[in-house]
A and B are shown apart, each in its own frame.
Chain A
Amino acid sequence: MLALDNLSKHFGGVRAVDAVDLTFREGEIFGLIGPNGSGKSTTVNLITGLYTPTTGTVMLDGHDLTQMAQHERTAMGVARTFQNIRLFGNLSVAQNLWVAQNGRTQRREHFMSRWFKAGGEHGPEIEDLLRFSRLHTKRDLPASALSFGEMRRLEMARALASNPRIVLLDEPAAGASLEDGQLLAERIRDIRERGVTVLLIEHMMELVMGISDRIAVLNFGRKIAEGTPAEVQANRDVRAAYLGSKHEDEELIHA
């Protein structure tokens, strides 16, 4: 459904993302991994439109998103979370979800009722998302008063509030313990059960290997491997990128 074709982003001389081709299939959980600075977050920012690519295209079901502004892409069904949580701390938990109700289905609502109807933060979709994120008891607290884990859950629910087709989770396990990681895995599966495709960018290997249908590995902005978790784990280049390169060592010895 979502396809990246020859996608590159150069910052000056640095090729943060270099000619990456990826295709995500409807309803899958796709893991995107790679060492620090390998271009994972840049890829997310290229898909959501925070950056404009140097070359290449982003296509969603045949629609070219490459020239679209961020909010237009969200309306097309691309939603995301941030590595360093970005909630609206001055709004309540429910309002954070309310503001994000801006997706494909809600756009058909009448302009006045969409923008100026009071009490819309009690709508059924929001109640559903509050239960999903287990925050219904804290619905009226300011988002800045939540704990770290609650903030992550709220941000994930906020990404779902726009009725996305694909949601990009940028390191959702950062700062979480291993146990949280297992709860997180369940929640990511829940997202998929809602019919939303998941692109998971993550460091925590147990999590990615455990729940992803397919995985791609980036290193220095290039895709070095793609396949099922088992295939990727067996890949020599991937082992090299993560564990230090045997080849490089040999080259060093020979040099």
Chain B
Amino acid sequence: MDFYFGLLQIFGVHTLLGLSAYVVLLTGQVTMAQAGFYAIGAYSAGAATAMFGLHILPAVILAGLVTAGIACIVGFPALRVKGLMLVVATLAFGEMVRLFFFNLTWQVERGGEMVGPNGAEGFRAIRYFPENGWEVWHVTVFIWIVVAVIMAALWWMDHSRAGAVLRAVGHDETAAQSVGLNLTAVKVGAMTLGGFIAGVGGGIYAHTVTHIEHGVFGVLLATFAIAYPILGGLGSVFGTVIAVLFIQGFLIEGLRFVGDWRSLLFGALIVVAMNLRPHGLLGEHAPNLRRIFGREKTEREALNTKEAK
């Protein structure tokens, strides 16, 4: 049973990671910085509970705020560049964060032993949950309450003017400026909100695994973060959740029985999924076999060319 609860915990923290990229992606920015933000959240929440004895809830919120602050600062220069250049810039930021924690040694004595980040060895003994008698299912419920709260908040935002503004910027920056939107404010705002969510997710993640090290927060994790909302579709927050279930549940756990072939199938199935649902798993278009094998334009592309004329 604990295995399934553990799996649900992974789904939960990865949903937060995906949602953090979802917010930024709404503005049309492809960011590879989310793994870095996740790391900052993980280390700061870990430090808050293990080193300074905070309760988990303020620790996680603190991690979110710290990460949001850093995301805001990073956002200003990073969002001046677009497209591939932004991918490169955010990738560099993510690696910078990872290498920072690779080199960070900062330990304090607590209960007769040294705790804190210890360079390449990582940050061990983030044992808030076991020390306070939380059982696995408690933790799982806690995680999904947090996920539900954040999803509800984003769902609300999506249906307010703020959501429409994010999508407007993502669709056409020139038009967005012409109707009076401040691109920098909107993009940095999205980056900050994304940073907060990633920080919260990372903070919870650190406590579920009790031991974090720099290697986890590499390019692969950043790729997963951005893959969830792209695969799930930007229609709503539920796309990201479905994509997490699809990737983590079906492709990673569900396909374990095929052994070494899993990695191959993993890639192939994502390609198939994206071809069947070019606007994401929960996109608005029905599967169309001709679209996979033919060169027919999708309705949207056809409209775009019409517009261009």
Contacts and interface: CB of A to CB of B under 8 A. Distances in A.
A86 B178 contact: yes
A11 interface: no
Contact of B178 (A79, A116, A120): A79
Contacts of B164: 88, 91, 95, 98-99, 121
B181 interface: yes
B308 interface: yes
Contacts of B176: 88, 99
Given A91-B167, A91-B171, A117 B160 contact: yes
- Secondary structure of the B contact surface, majority rule: helix
B175 A88 contact: yes
Contacts of B309: 84, 175
Given A91-B167, A95-B164, 20 more contacts: A74-B178, A74-B179, A80-B178, A82-B178, A84-B309, A86-B175, A87-B175, A87-B307, A88-B164, A88-B172, A88-B175, A89-B304, A91-B171, A99-B164, A99-B165, A103-B180, A115-B160, A121-B164, A144-B303, A162-B179
A71 B162 contact: no
Interface in B12-27: none
The 4 closest A-B pairs by CB, nearest first: A74-B180, A102-B180, A100-B179, A86-B175
Given A71-B180, A71-B183, A86-B172, A118 B156 contact: yes
Interface of B: 156-157, 159-162, 164-165, 167-168, 170-172, 174-183, 300, 303-304, 306-309
A82 B157 CA distance: 29
Contacts of B168: 88, 91, 96, 99
Contacts of A95: 164
Contacts of B181: 71, 99, 102
B236 to A, nearest CB: 13
Contact of B179 (A50, A99, A117, A121): A99
Interface of A: 48-50, 69-71, 74-75, 79-80, 82, 84-91, 95-96, 98-103, 114-121, 144-145, 148, 151, 158-159, 161-162, 175
A162 B177 CA distance: 12
A198 to B, nearest CB: 16
Contacts of B171: 88-91
A110 B175 CA distance: 25
Contacts of B161: 98-99, 101, 114-117, 120-121
A170 to B, nearest CB: 10
A91 to B, nearest CB: 6
A148 B182 contact: no
25 contacts: A69-B177, A69-B182, A71-B177, A71-B180, A71-B181, A80-B178, A82-B175, A86-B174, A86-B175, A86-B178, A88-B167, A90-B167, A90-B171, A91-B164, A91-B171, A99-B161, A99-B164, A102-B180, A103-B180, A115-B161, A115-B162, A116-B156, A116-B157, A119-B159, A144-B307
Nearest to A104: B180
Among the interface residues A79, A88, A96, A148, which one has the most CB atoms of the partner chain B within 10 A? A88
A90 B170 contact: yes
B161 to A, nearest CB: 5
A136 B177 CA distance: 25
Contacts of B307: 84-85, 87, 89, 144, 151
B266 to A, nearest CB: 30
